[in-house]
Structure 1
Amino acid sequence: MASARRPHLCLGLRRRAVGARDNHRGWPLPQAGASWPLGGGALQALTPSPGHDTLPADCPYPVSHCSKGGDMVRTYRLGVIGFAHMHVNHLLDQFAKLPNVEWVACADTVPAVPSRSSLPGTRLFNLKRAQEVTGIPKVYEDYREMLEKERFDAIIFCPENARHGEVAEAVAEKGIHMLTEKPMAASLSEALRMARAVRANGVALMVNWPTTWSPAIRAMKRLIEEGVIGEVWEVKWRNGASMGPLSYSDPQPSDAEKGAEWWHQAAQGGGALLDYCCYGACLARWFIGERAVAAVGMRANLRSHYGDADDNAVITVRFPSALAVLEATWTTWNSGVPTGPIVYGSRWTLVTDQKVVEVY
């Protein structure tokens, strides 16, 4: 008879805000998601933390106003470009909690196919929410016109994945720092386009990876670094149960409404591979600590024929001393078993459900 599955060690983790520190000054980053600066450390400390409640004398950023005590405190003028990705809502909510943020204006990108729905998660819903909930006062039809007419310290942009390069380049050329949502881009060439733009203009680009804010994920990284499980030789990632990005509203959108959204359009960077395999790619690189040397993948549209983007995908990645298996799905009602990430080491194995980390 098989023995019962019992972990050697179980770490219960309560949900809490997890801080990160920028590598320029050590000031706290806003609690919007894990992000790493490509072009410098300028997008840091939208609000001072205890011990950093005034700006240092050599701070390179201009001061917008003074506090009651006369100390200089920075106010940041923020704007938004693109409401295609519903994660924009969470980013705006997090920045809206900060006391020194001034919302200036926003603009959506023009979709290749007009939206047919305004249900939660759609771009029409997201844009309306930015006005009514976040309170962004101005809405432009053209984001380039907005960049010409308004003054910003930073831009949050969440357009279609395939348009990240275009938007980042336009923002960088105006000397504005920026934050975007994962994945960084829909292709390597577009990601390199973004990197060149921010470096050429001396601005910061930050990419939000929500999983890396997870206390469970951070606990896994700590256990790996402490050598608890020995040498990592494989990382497995599969997103949890999901029926696609627009499947959680009530009422449900029709197939025609789903097909009109960029998520289900391959040319716009839609599909499950870019939506979910990117998480595993990020975590595998972080956990293993090496650059990948080879990868092979397969994707398919199995159940979502109202669009031409994939709804399931698998990538197998070779690192110098390890493997990674990355799976993405938009057609799974119930995952049945823990989907991880799961990290196999030479001594022990780590498994998490994003709430608890178990060591076997």
Structure 2
Amino acid sequence: MDKLGIGLIGAGRAGMIHARHFRSNLNNARLVAVADPNESIAKQAATELEIGDWYTDYRQLLADERIHAVVVVTPTKYHKEIVVAAAKAGKHVLCEKPMAMNAAECDEMIDACTQAKVKLQIGFMRRFDESFLEAKRLTEEGVIGEVILVKSLTRGPSKPQPWMYDLRLSNGPLAEVNSHDIDTLRWFAGSDFASVYAIGGNYRCKEIQEQFPDFYDNVVLTGSFKNGKQGVIDGALSAQYGYDARVEVVGTEGAIFIGQTHERTLVTADKNKQLTRPFMNSWKTLYKDAYLSEARHFIACILEDVQPRVSGYDGKMAVAAVNAGNASIRKGEVIRLG
């Protein structure tokens, strides 16, 4: 096999980030085709990516024998159906987060990929970011003593897509925004959640409050882990000041701080004696290199027949914590995870 053939399923913003890497930046893989139910989006993606083949039905893409692996970047509610179908078609899968709507769907996806003997990697790209990897190494070496507490925040500037307002379709911001934070807490704590307590509120999207009374655009989640460690998540949508993603890992003998709020090193001093520095504008900028490293890892796992660093189990545990967090918001009580 000269190069692995890759198919993209879902050509939105995140999908196109993945597609550009597989199109241009990987020597041992090539982007073959793209599928999106919106014909104009599928055509536009194929044109931009300079590939000849596009489909409006992902099943047609899965039937393409030139394709050995797929990247699934659709709304969460379609993940299970597509990933199971991809596995049955013998395609390896890189599935964006959130993995699915609930743990049972995750189990179906894991079982299908296991039975078909194809790789399943979940898109937690922060695990491939150089700063996160260095921080993980330092914690494992005991530089800050024993890890006690992991705090992670993600606040995004964008207003939600219309379908995200319905928690039955999206699982809310805990899934769409804070899945990365949940995975970060699990990764640095080295354990699964034992319990979570969360509060949420709608402060910035008041116009949809009557139609979607359960929607929240701001959330705080605290959690305990099975190994006794603690975690805190702070999440927000439509935070107008910029894209803000930072982590603190607190130990018995120190702390590690990950993340930056500035997009460039440029600082302007003006005649009013004011210093200004551009705030981080997008996750696409902050994690640009991490997405490329994630794609390289996926291809290496297929070619070398090794298991992905981020497994279906990792995706499932994040989904379980999302569901528990939403239940906690709804019931106003601590939710214990089995």
The bucket for the TM-score relative to the shorter chain is 0.5 to 0.7
- Which residues of structure 2 form unaligned runs of 5+? 263-338
Identity level (%): 27
Q: Distance in 2 between matches of 1:135 and 1:266?
A: 36
Alignment partner of 1:330 is 2:232:
no
The residue identity in structure 2 corresponding to 1:95 is: F
Q: Is the 8 A contact 1:109 1:159 kept in 2?
A: no
Taking a change above 3 Å as real, the CA distance of residues 190 and 136 of structure 1, as seen in their structure-2 partners, is farther
Q: Say which of 30, 36, 53 aligns to 1:138.
A: 53
Alignment length, in residue pairs?
255
Alignment partner of 1:347 is 2:262:
no
Deviations 1:202-240 (A, max 9, x none): 111111212222222122112111111111111111114
2:95 alignment partner, SS class: strand
Q: How does 1:192-341 map to 2 (within 5 A)?
A: 192-240=107-155, 242-244=156-158, 258-259=161-162, 262-269=163-170, 271-304=172-205, 305-306=207-208, 308=212, 309-319=215-225, 320-334=227-241, 340-341=246-247
2:19 alignment partner in structure 1: 92
Q: How does 1:27-66 map to 2 (within 5 A)?
A: 63=1
TM-score (norm 1): 0.64
Taking a change above 3 Å as real, the CA distance of residues 314 and 232 of structure 1, as seen in their structure-2 partners, is same
Q: Distance in 1 between matches of 2:40 and 2:138?
A: 43
The residue identity in structure 2 corresponding to 1:78 is: I
Q: Distance in 2 between matches of 1:335 and 1:179?
A: 28
The residue identity in structure 1 corresponding to 2:7 is: G
**Which piece of structure 1 moves more, 166-175 or 146-155?**
146-155
2:114 alignment partner, SS class: helix
Q: How does 1:118-137 map to 2 (within 5 A)?
A: 127-137=42-52
Q: Is the 8 A contact 1:214 1:354 kept in 2?
A: no
Superposition deviation, residue 180 in structure 1:
1.6
Deviations 1:66-120 (A, max 9, x none): xxxxxxxx31121111235x2111111111222343433222247xxxxxxxxxx
1:239 alignment partner, SS class: strand
Taking a change above 3 Å as real, the CA distance of residues 78 and 245 of structure 1, as seen in their structure-2 partners, is farther
- Which residues of structure 1 form unaligned runs of 5+? 1-62, 64-73, 111-122, 247-257
1:347 alignment partner, SS class: coil
**Which piece of structure 1 moves more, 267-276 or 299-308?**
299-308
Superposition deviation, residue 286 in structure 1:
1.1
Q: Say which of 104, 114, 127 aligns to 1:189.
A: 104
Q: Distance in 1 between matches of 2:187 and 2:249?
A: 12
Q: Distance in 2 between matches of 1:300 and 1:151?
A: 47
The residue identity in structure 2 corresponding to 1:94 is: H
Q: Is the 8 A contact 1:103 1:135 kept in 2?
A: no
Q: Is the 8 A contact 1:342 1:352 kept in 2?
A: yes
Q: Is the 8 A contact 2:9 2:58 kept in 1?
A: yes
Q: Distance in 1 between matches of 2:64 and 2:242?
A: 49
Alignment partner of 1:83 is 2:45:
no
TM-score (norm 2): 0.68
More helix by share: 2
Superposition deviation, residue 270 in structure 1:
5.8
Superposition deviation, residue 355 in structure 1:
8.2
